Chain A
Amino acid sequence: MSDDDRVFKALADPTRRLLLDRLFARDGRTLSELEADVDMTRFGVMKHLRVLEDAGLVVTRRSGREKLHFLNPVPIRLIHDRWIDKYTERRVTALTDLKRQLEADA
Chain B
Amino acid sequence: MTDTTTATSVQVYRVHIRASAEAIWEAITSPDWTDRYGYGGRVDYELRPGGAFRSYANDEMKAFGAPEVILDGEVLESDPPRRLVQTWRMLMDPDNEPEGFTRLTYEIDPQDDGVCRLTLTHDLTNAPRLSLITDGSSDGEGGGGWPWVLSGLKTLLETGSPMQNRS
State whether B147 touches A70 (Cβ < 8 A): no
Residue of B nearest to A28 (CB): B8
Total A-B Cβ pairs within 8 A: 67
Whether, in the assembled complex, B63 has its beta carbon less than 8 Å from a beta carbon of chain A, the answer is: no
**Given A27-B10, A32-B3, A59-B14: A73 and B135 interface contact (C-beta under 8 Å):** yes
User: What CA separation (Å) do A28 and B121 show in the bound complex?
Assistant: 12
User: What CA separation (Å) do A80 and B155 show in the bound complex?
Assistant: 13
**Given A59-B119, A81-B163: A32 and B12 interface contact (C-beta under 8 Å):** no
The number of residues on chain A lying at the interface, defined by a beta carbon within 8 Å of a beta carbon of chain B, is 24
Of listed A30, A68, A73, residue having the most chain B CB within 10 A? A73
Chain A residue numbers with a CB within 8 Å of B136 are 73, 77
User: What CA separation (Å) do A76 and B151 show in the bound complex?
Assistant: 10
**Residue interface bits B1-15, CB-to-A below 8 A is 1, else 0:** 111111110111111
**Given A81-B163, A81-B165: A74 and B3 interface contact (C-beta under 8 Å):** no
**Across the A-B interface, the 9 shortest Cβ-Cβ residue pairs:** A28-B8, A77-B147, A70-B12, A73-B147, A77-B151, A74-B15, A59-B12, A74-B147, A59-B14
B-side residues, CB < 8 A to A, are: 1-8, 10-16, 119, 121, 135-136, 144, 146-148, 150-151, 154-155, 163-165
A-side residues, CB < 8 A to B, are: 3, 26-28, 30, 32-33, 36, 56, 59, 61, 66, 68, 70, 72-78, 80-81, 85
Taking A30-B4, A32-B2 as given, write out 17 further A-B residue pairs in contact, using a Cβ cutoff of 8 Å, ordered by the A residue number: A26-B8, A27-B11, A27-B12, A32-B3, A32-B4, A33-B3, A56-B14, A59-B12, A59-B119, A66-B4, A72-B14, A74-B146, A77-B147, A78-B15, A78-B154, A81-B165, A85-B165
